[in-house]
DNA sequence: ACATTAAGTGATT
DNA sequence: AATCACTTAATGT
């Protein structure tokens, strides 16, 4: 993973690889950060949470990426402001926070961390824009597409209630919006599952010259 | 068959 | 867009 020998050695002795099944909550709001996860395989879904339990989907962390939230927290020994859930069965490289801090002496590690931060910042801006400007139906579609892309599976196993919670909107609204999507042929609904017709939609969009 | 949970509906603000 | 009250449908035991 790294070319510098000292860093490579430290990394391979200290970092452990762990596997988690989809749905596992890796990190909860308020948890103290002791480990920094790097996604090797699978993906993580990151959610924010307000003071009394209401969640909010933020973004996904894909293979090769890491949680910049944890990186910023580790030196300050802060608690997590976010929640991380395994989206697709994942293998994570767990880096103890103190090492992540010590390794800042290695330019290679600094660059890795810096790049991770920069990329995340960009994506975070993107999601903020969506929260601010997109209507709920557009947010819902975007959310579905992102989750499908993060898993590589077109049928999401989630209830309307789950989705409603992550989008911060009442369940009835999600139900109705999903029905609209179904009427447009973008989605097929069944109890506890949603099939997203990604290919069909992409096809239609290209036919219309969009 | 019954209880529980998910989803659908209409009315109200 | 949110909330309520209620119905219907699917699922688990």
pLDDT in tens, A107-148: 999 999 999 999 999 999 999 999 989 999 999 999 999 999
Mean pLDDT of A167-171: 94
Q: Closest nt to A161 (CA→C1')?
A: B6
pLDDT tier, A101 (very low <50, low <70, confident <90, very high otherwise): confident
Mean pLDDT of A14-39: 92
CA angle (A166 as vertex; A36, A70 as ends), nearest 5: 15
Please list, in sequence order, all residues whose beta carbon lies within 8 angstroms of the beta carbon of residue A161, skipping any fewer than 6 positions away.
A171
pLDDT at A202: 65
- Residue-wise pLDDT for A37-82, tens only, equals 999 999 999 999 877 778 899 999 999 999 888 877 666 677 888 9
Please list, in sequence order, all residues whose beta carbon lies within 8 angstroms of the beta carbon of residue A132, skipping any fewer than 6 positions away.
none
Q: Give residue limits of the domains in chain A.
A: 5-132, 134-207
pLDDT tier, A90 (very low <50, low <70, confident <90, very high otherwise): very high
Residue A183 has pLDDT above 70, yes or no: yes
CA dihedral A75, A80, A82, A88 (to 10 degrees): 80
H or E segment and range at residue A23: none
The CATH homologous superfamily for domain A5-132 is Jelly Rolls (2.60.120.10)
**Domain A134-207 CATH class label:** mainly alpha
Residue A160 has pLDDT above 80, yes or no: yes
Helix (H, G, I), strand (E, B) or coil at A77: coil
Q: Closest nt to A174 (CA→C1')?
A: B7
Q: Closest nt to A163 (CA→C1')?
A: B6
Q: Which pTM was predicted?
A: 0.89
Residue A93 has pLDDT above 90, yes or no: yes
Nearest residue (CA) to C1' of C1:
A173
- Which bases of strand B have any atom within 7 Å of the beta carbon of a protein residue? 5-11
Q: Which of A9, A3, A10, A15 is nearest to A92 (CA)?
A: A15
A200-CA/B2-C1' distance, Å: 42
Residue A87 has pLDDT above 90, yes or no: yes
The chain-wide mean pLDDT, for chain A, equals 90
CA dihedral A170, A120, A151, A128 (to 10 degrees): 20
pLDDT at A181: 94
């Amino acid at each position: 993973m790294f070319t510098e020998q000292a860093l490579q050695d430290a990394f391979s002795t200290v970092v452990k690889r762990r596997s988690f099944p989809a749905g596992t909550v890796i990190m909860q709001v308020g948890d103290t950060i002791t480990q920094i996860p790097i996604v090797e395989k699978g993906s993580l879904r990151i959610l924010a949470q307000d003071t009394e339990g209401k969640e909010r989907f933020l973004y996904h962390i894909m293979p090769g990426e890491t949680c910049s939230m944890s990186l910023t927290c580790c030196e300050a020994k802060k608690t997590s402001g976010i929640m991380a859930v395994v989206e697709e069965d994942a293998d994570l490289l767990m880096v103890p926070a103190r090492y992540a801090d010590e390794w800042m002496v290695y330019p290679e590690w600094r660059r890795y961390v810096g790049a991770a931060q920069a990329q995340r910042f960009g994506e975070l801006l993107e999601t903020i824009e969506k929260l601010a400007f997109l209507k709920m139906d557009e947010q819902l579609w975007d959310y579905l597409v992102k989750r499908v892309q993060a898993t590589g599976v077109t049928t999401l196993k989630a209830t309307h209630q789950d989705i409603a919670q992550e989008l911060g909107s009442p369940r009835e609204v999600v139900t109705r919006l999903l029905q609209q999507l179904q009427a447009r042929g973008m989605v097929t609904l069944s109890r506890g599952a949603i099939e997203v017709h990604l290919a069909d939609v992409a096809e239609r969009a290209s036919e219309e010259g969009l």
